[in-house]
Amino acid sequence: MIEQNTKLGIWLMLATTLVFAVQDGLSRYLAGEYNVYMVIMIRFWFFGLFVVVISARKAGGLRAAARTSQPLLQGFRALLLVTEICVIVAAFIVLGLVETHAVFACYPLLIAALSGPVLGEHVGWRRWTAIGIGFVGVLIILQPGISVFEPAAIVPLIGALMFALYGLLTRYAARRDTAATSFFWTGIVGALGMTSVGIWFWEPMASHDWAWMSLLCLTGVLGHFTLIKCYEVAEASAVQPFAYLQLVFVTIIGVTVFGETVRTNVAIGVVIVVGAGLFTLWRQRKLA
The 10s digit of each residue's pLDDT in 4-21 is: 477 888 888 889 989 999
Q: How far is residue 138 from each of residues 91, 132, 159, 216, measured CA to CA in Å?
A: 16, 10, 14, 29
The 10s digit of each residue's pLDDT in 179-223 is: 889 999 999 999 999 999 999 999 999 999 999 999 999 998 898
| Half-sphere exposure in the Cβ direction for 78 (13 Å, CA) | 24
Contacts of 242 (CB under 8 A, 6+ apart): 10, 13, 14, 17
pLDDT band for 90, please (50, 70, 90 cuts).
very high
- Is residue 31 within 8 Å of 257, Cβ to Cβ? no
Ranges assigned E (strand) in 83-123: none
Measuring CA to CA, which residue among 99, 88, 184 is closest to residue 138?
A: 99
Q: Is the pLDDT of residue 238 over 60?
A: yes
The total number of structural domains that make up the chain: 1
Per-residue confidence (pLDDT) for residue 287, from 0 to 100 = 63
How far apart, in whole angstroms, are the C-alpha atoms of residue 262 and residue 251? Answer: 8
Domain that holds residue 238: 2-287
Question: Any idea what the Cα angle at residue 77 is, between residues 100 and 87, rounded to 5°?
Answer: 25
pLDDT band for 284, please (50, 70, 90 cuts).
low
- Residue 178 φ then ψ, to 5°: -80, 165
| Half-sphere exposure in the Cβ direction for 241 (13 Å, CA) | 14
- Is residue 87 within 8 Å of 162, Cβ to Cβ? yes
The 10s digit of each residue's pLDDT in 156-186 is: 989 999 998 998 898 888 888 888 899 999 9
Per-residue confidence (pLDDT) for residue 114, from 0 to 100 = 81
The 10s digit of each residue's pLDDT in 103-150 is: 888 888 888 788 777 777 777 777 778 778 877 888 777 765 544 456
How far apart, in whole angstroms, are the C-alpha atoms of residue 281 and residue 68? Answer: 30
Which value, in Å, is the radius of gyration of the alpha carbons in the chain? 19
